[in-house]
Amino acid sequence: MSLESLKVDLSDQTAIVTGASQGLGRAMAIALASAGARVACVARNEEKLKATVAAIEEAGGQGEAMAADVSVTENVEKIVNTVADEWGRFDIMVNNAGITRDTLLPVMSDEQWDDVISTNLRGSFLFCRAASQRMMRSRYGRIINIASVSGLIGNPGQTNYSASKAGLIGLTRSLSKEIAKRKVTVNAVAPGFIESEMTAILGEAILKEVKKRIPANRLGTPDDVSACVLFLASPAASYITGQVLTVDGGMIA
């Protein structure tokens, strides 16, 4: 789909997008900036972040690279405070940073489990905590957590990843109930198979079989996910909170 057909005005708003150096995170950061938001792009790889910011600026938007490990409390608090204090406001938080360390659970190491939970779930917890404090104070905010269909149905070889995404869905639903009265919404987006470097590695034969499981008969695109994020980030979504929006072409319907 084309994002040009979705009219969302985020002028003068500010956003943080984690995992913005590539893939979905990069696409979502560019989409938010195209809608008028000033976007803090967060990830570990500074060079890739600079490329994301360059793409934002080339399209006429505003972005800033903030390289950091999202699992470290001090890093998260510094980024949120910088955006809120130096930029004058903080409106949108997109928790997208995530990694995989795939293997079957009987042979999964402590490190493979801890690395995934630390980045995918702890990192989102830290940003949700810091963001909610600021947003409750200003009585406005949009927190959007990028989960996965793996967190809804599980996936063999990805027990750690599926657990982290299921935990993120639980975090989303619980936090939404805690802060709804302060006009802060908390929702999750759960993508299915999306066109990316990771899915391309699977090869044409496997992707052909994957498409057979998807009623839409195609993989999703980064724009399909970005459109959902744009809507949930907008003022129009003020009465939507605690929800999990599945973007999978009907695969798990």
- Let me know the angle formed at the C-alpha of 132 by 126 and 133, rounded to the nearest 5 degrees: 95
Q: What is the DSSP letter of 3?
A: G
Cβ atoms of residues 28 and 61 within 8 Å: no
Closest CA to 232 of 155, 99, 143, 120: 143
Cβ atoms of residues 104 and 156 within 8 Å: yes
Q: Is 239 a residue of the active site?
A: no
From 93, 161, 186, 249, the catalytic residue: 161
Residues in the chain, overall count:
253
Tokens 């810091």, residue located: 130
CA distances (Å), 39 to each of 61, 114, 125, 163, 171, in order?
A: 9, 29, 20, 29, 24
Cβ atoms of residues 231 and 4 within 8 Å: no
Cβ atoms of residues 176 and 186 within 8 Å: yes
Catalytic residues: 161
